[in-house]
Chain A
Amino acid sequence: ETGVTQTPRHLVMGMTNKKSLKCEQHLGHNAMYWYKQSAKKPLELMFVYSLEERVENNSVPSRFSPECPNSSHLFLHLHTLQPEDSALYLCASSQDRGQLYGYTFGSGTRLTVV
C-alpha cells in the first residue's frame, strides 16, 4: 500500500456508459495527477491539480473530466469513451507541484471499453 488508493482496480464499461474513477490520498500532499498508460506505451500525463485547482490539462479529450473536491480526493469522470481509451489509469500525488522527493503512485485502475 503506497498511501494513494485507487478504486475500482478494474472497470469494464460500454461506450455509452458514464463511470468515475476515484483516487484518495492521506499523505498531506497538495498536488495530484492523472496519468494514462496504454499497452506498450510510456505513461502520459493527463491532468495536474495543485491545491485543488487544475493547473494543467495536456490536450485531453472532453470525454475525460477531472474533479478535485478537496486535497485528498481526485476523480476522473468518464463518458462516451472509445475502445482506444482502454488503458491503465494511474493517480499520483506529491507534496507540492514542484517538490524534491518525487511522486507517490496508486496501483491504478485497469479500464476496458467495449
Chain B
Amino acid sequence: DAKTTQPTSMDCAEGRAANLPCNHSTISGNEYVYWYRQIHSQGPQYIIHGLKNNETNEMASLIITEDRKSSTLILPHATLRDTAVYYCIAYYNQGGKLIFGQGTELSVKP
C-alpha cells in the first residue's frame, strides 16, 4: 500500500471551505484513495473514496489530480463538529489492509 503524506494540522474558519491536501506520489493504478475522520475518542468514520474521477457525497468532495499523485478533500462549509483528525489512505481493495498514518488535525474555529 502506498504511503501518504498529510500536513500535521490545519485551521479553518467556521462556514468556510476546508481543503485538506494529501500526497500519494507512489500510489499504484489499482489503489483507491480513501478518506476517514476521527472525532476525539471515537472510532474513525468513513467519508469518501475515489480512484481517478472526482467524487462528491453529502459529506465532502474529493478532487484527485490527473496523475493521481495527490488529492484534496473539501468540506464545503466547515462547522465546529468537523473538528477531527482526517486520514488519507491509499488502499488496495483486494485483500488490502486499512493502514492509518498520522493524519491532519483540523480545527474549525468560530
Residues of A within 8 A of B (CB): 2, 4, 33, 42-43, 45, 48, 56, 88, 90, 92, 97-108, 110
Contacts and interface: CB of A to CB of B under 8 A. Distances in A.
A105 B45 contact: yes
Contacts of B94: 98
B43 A4 contact: yes
B100 A103 contact: no
In this complex, the member of A102, A104, A107 whose beta carbon has the largest number of chain B beta carbons within 10 angstroms is A102
Contacts of B21: none
Contacts, number: 50
Given A42-B101, A97-B95, A102 B34 contact: yes
Interface in B90-106: 92-103
Main SS at interface, chain B: loop
B93 A103 contact: no
A98 B95 contact: yes
A31 B37 CA distance: 21
A44 to B, nearest CB: 8
Given A45-B99, A48-B97, A92-B98, 8 more contacts: A2-B45, A42-B102, A56-B97, A90-B43, A90-B44, A98-B96, A100-B93, A102-B36
Nearest to A40: B102
A92 B43 contact: yes
Contact of A45 (B32, B98, B102): B98
B100 A43 contact: yes
Contact of A103 (B32, B42, B46, B95): B46
